[in-house]
Amino acid sequence: MINYKILFLDIDGTILTPDDTIQDSTKQAVAQLQQKGLEVFLATGRPLHEIANIGEELNIHSFIGYNGAFAIYKGETIFRETMNKDTVKHFLDIAKSHGHEAVLYTSDKNAFTSLEAPITKEFMKKFHLYKNDTITDDILNQVLGITLINLSENEHVLYEEDAEIHLSQVNIEGFRHSYDVIRDTVNKGLAVQMILERLGIPKESAIAFGDGMNDKEMLSYVGEGFAMGNAHPNLFPYAKHTTTSVTESGIYNGLKSLGLLE
């Protein structure tokens, strides 16, 4: 039997159900694995300064945020990589010319193109973003991640001129007009790789769960990658396993299938 040592969990659509709660089965599963000595990380596109409450609820103290741009292991920074300033400016220019909104995430705030637009207010409410401000030039070299908002179908291609950048549709009902900007050289999969190297854990001993296309690199890299039953249809080929949905104890059932839960 494989000696599993580490677990990576996406948040939205994986840990959090559509009504923004965490199922008791998920809490039980995480607690049992922690009791067995496994390291548990949250691995999210969200900014780290907005997820402390989720970490506290699950007693998790290690994180990958901003789709892999910032990784922390029990207070120690493992990896931190800001985006190219010129790329950020270029994306903002495209957004402005096509009527899109955007949010730039730094290590301590979320900077929006507009704080008053109804669609950005909905976005803030859904993803529990509280440390919000408007975009200013002085933060453009501090950006760890970007989400583009209010894109029509196929408009994501406007931003994909750079061969090393692709957009990942947010896999949340009502917010599929939003896309995370993913760098080929900075993503959840590469963050996982760096964490495993730092902790001396082989990838065969690593498990991950996700539901969005921003999880594909992570699920592909670990030994046991699980796509949630509610995952984006294009994610399934990147996962070794499929589990039940986030509202049907997907994390618990996946871990049980590996023999890790009693």
d(CA 118, CA 61): 34
Distances (CA, A) of 224 to 69, 76, 133: 22, 25, 39
SS (HEC) of 57-91: HHCCCEEEEHHHCEEEECCEEEEECCCCHHHHHHH
CA 184 to chain centre: 15
* Amino acid (1-letter code) at residue 184: D
Phi, psi of 163 (to 5 degrees): -65, -15
Please give the positions annotated as active site: 10
For residue 71, give the H/E element and its range: strand 70-73
The three-state secondary structure class of 30 is helix
Contact present, 213 and 168 (Cβ < 8 Å): yes
Query: Residue 43: which of 208, 260, 250 has the closest Cα?
Result: 208
Encoded tokens for 52: 């402390």
Contact present, 126 and 120 (Cβ < 8 Å): no
Query: Residue 252: which of 85, 24, 66 has the closest Cα?
Result: 24
**Strand-pair partners of 7:** 40, 207
